[in-house]
Amino acid sequence: MQEFDQNKTRWITQKGYLQGSFWTILCCLTSNLNDILMKSTGYHLPPFQIVFFRSLFGLIFISPLIFSKVSSLKTQNIKIHFNRIILGVTAITLSCYATTLFSLPEVTVLSFSQPLFFLPMAVLLLKEKLTYQRLLTNILGFIGIVIVLNPEKKDFFSFITLVPLASAFLFTYLDIINKKLLILEKPYTLLFYFNLGTTILTGFMSIFTWVTPNFHDLFLLFLLGASATFIQVFSFMSLSATTILSLAPLRYSELIFSCFFSILIFNEHPTSNVLFGSILVIGGVLYATYNEALKKRS
């Protein structure tokens, strides 16, 4: 029995497509749990306060790891960390607010739009060439986003429509900063400074709109902090097991989970707009990923 348990542990920590798929599915499930918890608490708690508790409990979860690596927390990139915190707080707060405005499937599909924002950023910031393949995939993706948001809605041309898109854009910019910073520092260093900074900043912002949470809310917020931490852990494990390209299609299993939990918990059924729009968004992103992989091989 002990040998069987050891074999299971070895299998999980090994590199390979099956291991990467295992961690990716866990990441998608946990991401759905994260959205469910933000939506459940977002109807009666202010977004800044939710992000505060999310960061605070997340900081508590990673504390044992941090205390064992205190000597590695020294950084010469305080300015970059500060920028990450500002971007992260804004992106997560908007994401939290979006869960109360849209159904879970809509929020999930719109979060898939993040890769589409890489193109304009790569052209403007990194001076990369604009090819017709990249332009085509982005056009298809953004048409899909418009379909999901549904132009027939009365509030289509309002601030509400911009909330999830602004969140996706900021998360994309945050990913670019994270990838550059991971070359210089360890993942747990990024986790520590991000959670510490967001806890302090959102704690201050929460003072002006504070609503005292009950024990049920605190339990949900505790789970939110745990899920937010595990999302990053599962993501790191999946990327260390195999390539991003091989795992890309599995990332969209999150939409299946999102539709299931949306019907089960909130009685929100995905509309035809969401299903058709998701095909264009996911298709555009997968085609772009495949094209970039071909370029790297050649």
Distance CA(10)–CA(12), nearest Å, equals: 6
Write the single-letter amino acid at 238: S
What is the structure's pLDDT at 4? 45
Q: Which residue in 286, 284, 237, 279 sits closest to 11, CA to CA?
A: 237
pLDDT digits (tens, 9 = 90+) for 4-63: 455 555 656 667 777 788 888 888 899 899 999 999 999 899 999 999 999 999 999 888
Q: Which residue in 26, 47, 152 sits closest to 99, CA to CA?
A: 47
DSSP secondary structure string for all residues of the chain: -HHHHHHHHHHHHS-SHHHHHHHHHHHHHHHHHHHHHHHHHHTTS-HHHHHHHHHHHHHHHHHHHHHTTGGGG--S-HHHHHHHHHHHHHHHHHHHHHHHHS-HHHHHHHHTTGGGGHHHHHHHHS-----HHHHHHHHHHHHHHHHHH-TTSTTTTSHHHHHHHHHHHHHHHHHHHHHHHHTTS-HHHHHHHHHHHHHHHHHHHHGGG-----HHHHHHHHHHHHHHHHHHHHHHHHHHHS-HHHHHHHHTHHHHHHHHHHHHHH--PPPHHHHHHHHHHHHHHHHHHHHHHHHHH-
Name which of 52-56, 65-69, 184-188 the model is least confident about: 65-69
pLDDT digits (tens, 9 = 90+) for 107-127: 888 887 777 777 677 667 666
Q: Is 288 exposed, middle or buried (0-12, 13-18, 19+ CB in 10 A)?
A: buried
Spell out the domain ranges in the chain. 25-297
**Whether residue 78 has pLDDT greater than 90:** no
How many CB atoms sit inside 10 A of residue 58's CB?
25
The mean predicted confidence, pLDDT, of the chain is 82
Higher pLDDT, 12 or 282: 282
What is the structure's pLDDT at 279? 86
What is the structure's pLDDT at 256? 85
Residue with tokens 């260390």: 240
The two tokens of residue 66 are 């941090």
Distance CA(294)–CA(298), nearest Å, equals: 6
Reported residue count of the chain is 298
Write the single-letter amino acid at 239: L
Name which of 19-28, 160-169, 180-189 the model is least confident about: 180-189
Q: What is the pTM of this model?
A: 0.81
What is the structure's pLDDT at 97? 93
**Whether residue 3 has pLDDT greater than 50:** no
CA angle, corner 283, sides to 172 and 30, nearest 5?
A: 55
The two tokens of residue 292 are 């970039």
Distance CA(116)–CA(140), nearest Å, equals: 10
